[in-house]
Amino acid sequence: MKEDKLNQLFDRLQGQFDLEEPHIGHQDRFLEKLNQNSGTVSINRKKTNWWKPLSIAASIAIIGVLAFQVLGTKPSLDEQLVEISPEASQTEFYFANLIEEQVTLLKNEKSPETAQLVDDTLLQLKKLEKDYRGLEQDLVNGGDSKIILNAMIFNFQTRIDLLKDVLSQIENIKNLKSYNDENITI
């Protein structure tokens, strides 16, 4: 029965309830007036905690510095080689240019008769280049520099000799072909 009266009351007051919320800072203003009436004075001072943002920024900076040191760029093999032996890098530059010129000549001489010879030579040059990179790594890692530098120079000389021999063989093939072409009569 009491429940019926309560339901009737809510039905009768439907749409008349105050659903508005107080404005921002209402509670602070209310407490201020309450304190004034009772004679107490309150000082509202907002605390600013600067240590939290600063500690976050410092943490990010430390992580950034550590990441840069760990992931930072290490000098390349060539740069390390220049530091160890500047003469070796100059020698490498000279020999590399000479070999590149010879390889260009070799590729220009490629024909159906010499294709296999040129391809095999380029494959052997790649193997010698790989061996050279291994010697560079040994030098950077602290091996006996005199022995390794001599091996590096020998590697370059081997490549140059190989290219000269192959170019000579190609020249012989071309001469033989032109000689055979001249002796053929129609």
| Domain extent at residue 150 | 77-183
Instruction: Return the pLDDT at 157.
Output: 92
Q: Is residue 66 part of a domain?
A: no
Instruction: Return the pLDDT at 131.
Output: 92
Judge contact between 121 and 166, C-beta under 8 A.
yes
Residues with Cβ < 8 Å from 122, sequence gap 6 or more?
103, 106, 107
Instruction: Return the pLDDT at 127.
Output: 94
Q: Is residue 121 part of a domain?
A: yes
Residue 143 CB burial class (10 angstroms; 0-12, 13-18, ≥19): middle
Instruction: Return the pLDDT at 158.
Output: 93
Q: Is residue 88 part of a domain?
A: yes
- Token pair recorded at residue 155: 């590697």
Q: Is residue 9 part of a domain?
A: no
Mean pLDDT split into 10-residue runs, the chain, 186 residues? 75 77 81 76 62 85 83 65 68 84 87 87 92 84 80 90 91 80 57
Q: What DSSP character marks residue 21? A: P
Q: Is residue 98 part of a domain?
A: yes
- Token pair recorded at residue 81: 């080689």
Instruction: Return the pLDDT at 123.
Output: 92
Q: Is residue 57 part of a domain?
A: no
User: How far is the C-alpha of 107 from the C-alpha of 3, rounded, in Å?
Assistant: 104
Instruction: Return the pLDDT at 128.
Output: 92
The tally of domains found in the chain comes to: 1
Q: Tell me the whole-structure pTM to 2 decimals.
A: 0.54
Tell me how far CA of residue 23 lies from CA of 29, 37, 57, in angstroms.
Answer: 10, 22, 35
